[in-house]
Amino acid sequence: MRVGFVGTGTMGAAMASCLIDAGHALSVYDIRPEATAGLQARGARPAASPRAAAQGSEVVFLSLPGPEAVGQAALDPASGVLAGLAAGGALIDTTTNAPDMARRLAEACRARGIDMLDAPVSGRPPGMTVMAGGEAAVFARYRPLLAAMAGHIFHVGPAGSGCIAKLVTQYLGYANFVAALEGMMIAAKAGIDLGVLAEIVPLSAGASRTFDNIPRAVLTGTFAAGGTLDIVAKDLALACALARAVGAPAALGLCAHDLFSRAQAQGWGGEGFPVVARILERFADCELRARPSARQTRFAAEDPRRGSPRR
């Protein structure tokens, strides 16, 4: 199949690489031309714009930072994907996007005779999870293409539903992360060994994949993770906006977003999202540090990315 791919950053490049492995012919575009170099070395054809990536393609994927970038890349009348994608084609947006933007895009595609799925992802290819919104028949048609990149593929409902599912999972992950940090701060201020507690929590009611980032990235002081603080702040803002739009409570998410916003104000937006712990440390005048146990060191070496809420 002839596939256009717009947005070849860390996630986009990995997904596009899976499509190449599956035998598809790719045309690739990124606002940073150097981001397509690895894919070009594997046979992908570079495109000068999203429109150019769409011309001659049967399906175009988007993997972009957020709603504004999606609107520009897809809907710009001169350079956008829909200016180049022919009727009968399909647009699949894997961005963590706003549901309203996904619905707007779906309507624009419908008017041009183009299929559309909002299909944000979690994890890393080829075993990642896809949450797709759109018509059931369209989902069924392009499911084999998604299967080239993902191990878990769900049809959630009509246009915008995939984005809703992704935002809820992000809300759960990052609100949980802040709650876990607060719990560890209580322990630190009360004087118990955080290294021991970090071994207890995964075997208790407090266990979560998100907590696993704390011994690996916070207690060590490295704050390294798969997703940046800027990405998390954006996702939480979209999730809280969705909550307001549907009249749902979002007290925990709003508190978490406030902390991530404070960390952004410190200039830490490009760092791993666990760096938000430094804000809580300043509030409490206490650092969350501990020497990792032999078990934790072995665990991290076996799977250093376990638990990171991913793009």
Range 72-86 average pLDDT: 98
pLDDT, position 135:
98
Fold (topology level) of 165-302: N-(1-d-carboxylethyl)-l-norvaline Dehydrogenase; domain 2 (1.10.1040)
Structure tokens at 8: 């070849």
Question: DSSP 3-state assignment of 301?
Answer: helix
Structure tokens at 282: 């300043």
pLDDT band, very low/low/confident/very high, at 299 (cuts 50, 70, 90): low
Residue 102, phi then psi, degrees to nearest 5: -60, -40
Which residue, among 274, 287, 296, has the nearest Cα to 177 in the 3D structure? 274
Question: DSSP 3-state assignment of 85?
Answer: coil
Is the pLDDT at 187 greater than 50, yes or no?
yes
**Is residue 189 annotated as a catalytic residue, yes or no?**
no
CA angle centred on 199, ends 193 and 200, rounded to 5°: 90
For 61, 102, 118, 193, the CA distances from 199, given in Å and listed in that order, are: 41, 41, 39, 10
Kindly report the average pLDDT of the chain as a whole number: 94
Fold (topology level) of 2-158: Rossmann fold (3.40.50)
Contacts of 96 by beta carbon, 8 Å cutoff, 6+ apart: 66, 120, 163, 166, 167, 170, 231, 234, 235, 238, 311
Longest alpha-carbon distance in the chain: 65
In terms of DSSP H, where are the helices of the chain?
A: 10-21, 37-41, 50-54, 67-75, 99-111, 136-147, 161-190, 194-200, 213, 229-246, 251-265, 277-284, 294-302
Q: What is the pTM of this model?
A: 0.93
pLDDT band, very low/low/confident/very high, at 255 (cuts 50, 70, 90): very high
Range 199-214 average pLDDT: 95
Structure tokens at 161: 């539903």
Structure tokens at 67: 């709603």
Report DSSP letters for 217-280, one per residue: IITTS----SSBHHHHHHHHHHHHHHHHHHT---HHHHHHHHHHHHHHHTT-TTSBGGGGHHHH
Which residue, among 73, 20, 23, has the nearest Cα to 50 in the 3D structure? 73
Domain residue spans of the chain: 2-158, 165-302
- Catalytic member of 24, 51, 124, 166: 166
Is the pLDDT at 311 greater than 50, yes or no?
no
